[in-house]
Structure 1
Amino acid sequence: MDRFEPDDTALAGPNAIPPDIAALVDETDAPARGFFGPDSVMWTVSRERALLFNGVATILLQLAHPQVAAGVAEHSDFEADPLGRFRRTFELVHAVIFGDIQTAVEAALTVRAIHAGVTGTRDETVGSFAVGDRYAAVDPELLLWVHATLIAQSLAAYETYVTTLSETAREAYYRDCTVFGQLFGVSAAQYPETLADFTDYFERTVTEDLAVGTRGDDLRRALFRQGRVLKPLYAILGVGPLPDPVRTAYGLPWTARRQRAFDAWTALAGTVVPSLPGRLRYVPAYRRACARIQRRERDA
């Protein structure tokens, strides 16, 4: 694959709103509802706490990309506080999804500013990525892959623990996701055209680009170490949703017994989750967003 050369002028200044974000803002007609709103499939899927059941698998998929692992290892506190980093990431993600326009834009710009400083040179060869290759968090291919893991695992978790979406709803969710990704710097043209095309891209990346080196495995160990009380759950819930090549790359065992445990868990949780009251089932950001919209539309 071509090597990305980062552009240090990607952000013109701390308060700059890039033209691509400005264009998305211009397309919105209800700022209080944000970029998506209560009627969107994005809200329907993203409000579910059950998506967090696939959170560890999402992280492992991201770190299985050697360039992502290098950036995370050298430019974050992941090894010292992996769960804290996960929490902070999803606070920003939820701000973009459920926030009003101003909140969403501020969160997107915060992420872009963080990414702009994440650059470096590889110090180990892993897969097709050699010592001396440069990496950068603003590399469009890396941004796309990180977002792809969120799309794939969110859909998988929703359809495992909540309900199956129609093909129309799945495509609508994917279209919403391309808007979400554009806010973080992925161009619309970079996304595969349809969800089926996206699935092909995802499977191709798993096969051709993912490889776990020292950095990736160290980060995986840090994640499992901090969650040592939950390690049995990590070994099932974190590993179960992974494609076989990724399990193999990490050296994570997956036996028939573990598959049976995973199947039993998903069957049980898939029965319980849809019956939970909203205060337990939905993330707080969604509930706050609904209250905000009701209040603003009542006062308008």
Structure 2
Amino acid sequence: MHDDQREVFHQHAAEGVLLLGGGAAILLQLADPRVARGVALHSDFRDRPLDRLVGTLDYVYAIGFGDDEMVAAVVDAVNARHRPVRSPAAEAGEPTYSAFDADAQRWVASTLLATALRLHERLWGALDAATADVIVRSYGALGSSLQAAREGWPDSRAEFDAWWGERVAALQVGDDARSVARSLLSGASALPFGSRALLPPIRLITAALLPPAIRDAYGFRWTPRASRTADAWIQAIAVVWPWLPRVVRHAPLHASLRRMKRRSRYAEHEPRGRR
């Protein structure tokens, strides 16, 4: 990626407000039965939702902002977590899955991109084509850094929108997806007390960012009042966010990078027998 393109991507991805789209991205990921089955059977997401969110956040920031050493470390860590996530055997009616499935990885990356684009434009208006194209190409590294080849990833916003529309139309929200979604958005006791108070607006914003058919499939009651309330939250955030100091707006990025640097230093000094 050229320096000017990297700068465009960094200006977009460094904004911590994009984390508001995390719930919508996860629900879209789970709408693929392969992903939902793997998460339902192999993840402790229900009991420790923040751990999964932090892990995803660290991976995204490392790929987008880290140096070669940090990228290699986070890819190794993700691969280690993914290795046992696969179908034990093909069962009738059950989706086969593997966390090393290149298409599934591409799908996960695409949900992060689609949600980020939608939230960015809900907050600050339509992106120009050149900027959107750079952002689309940049998100391809989230899959290609694992097992998903760069080939097949859209090269422009127009290509991505066409591909995305076809994939969303084919999604099937199943029982596994709805079960994990309830845990994510129910205010489970695993969440810190302070964060539970934010769940009502987060649920509204999450629903607002989902395609209507997916929102309905998850059982959201999307009334005109709910839509107006979600719009009001998004508009308020759009007004306030630019006035915040950069150190606040970029706090999740820098906290993540510091966390990964500490892990790297610990790994370097850890006795070989304990690794």
Q: Could you say which TM-score interval applies, normalised by the shorter chain?
A: 0.7 to 0.9
Q: 1:286 offset after TM fit, Å?
A: 4.5
Alignment coverage as a number of residue pairs: 251
How far apart are residue 88 of structure 1 and its match? Answer: 2.0
The alpha-carbon distance between structure 1 residues 40 and 112, as it changes in their structure 2 partners (threshold 3 A), is farther
Q: Determine whether 1:168 maps to 2:130.
A: yes
Aligned: 1:189 with 2:151 = yes
Deviation at 1:83, TM superposition (A): 2.4
1:203 maps to which residue? 165
Q: How does 1:1-300 map to 2 (within 5 A)?
A: 39-120=6-87, 131-162=93-124, 164-208=126-170, 210-225=171-186, 226=188, 229-286=197-254
Which runs of structure 1 show a deviation greater than 6 angstroms over 4 or more consecutive aligned residues?
Answer: 35-38
CA distance in 2: counterparts of 1:183 and 1:81, whole angstroms: 26
Structure-2 separation of matches of 1:193 and 1:37: 17
Partner secondary structure for residue 138 of structure 1: coil
Q: 1:160 to 1:214 in 2, by over 3 A?
A: same
- Structure 2 counterpart of 1:144, one-letter code: R
Q: TM-score, normalised by structure 2?
A: 0.82
Query: Structure 1 residues 110 and 229, CA, compared in 2 at 3 Å: closer, same or farther?
Result: same
SS of corresponding position for 1:261: helix
1: distance between equivalents of 2:26 and 2:172?
14
Aligned to 1:18: none
Structure 1 residue 249: Cα displacement: 1.1
Task: Give the helix-richer structure, 1 or 2.
Answer: 2
> Secondary structure, in 3 states, of the residue corresponding to 1:136?
coil
SS at 1:189's partner residue? coil
Distance 2:88 2:178 in 1: 19
Quick check: 1:48–1:158 contact (8 Å CA) kept in 2?
Answer: no
Q: Which runs of 5+ in 1 are unaligned?
A: 1-27, 29-34, 125-129, 290-300
Q: State the identity %.
A: 32
In structure 2, how many angstroms separate the alpha carbons of the residues matched to 1:247 and 1:94? 28
Unaligned 5+ segments in structure 2 are: 258-275
Match of 1:221, as an amino acid? R
The RMSD of aligned alpha carbons is: 2.6
Instruction: Give TM-score, length-normalised by structure 1.
Output: 0.76
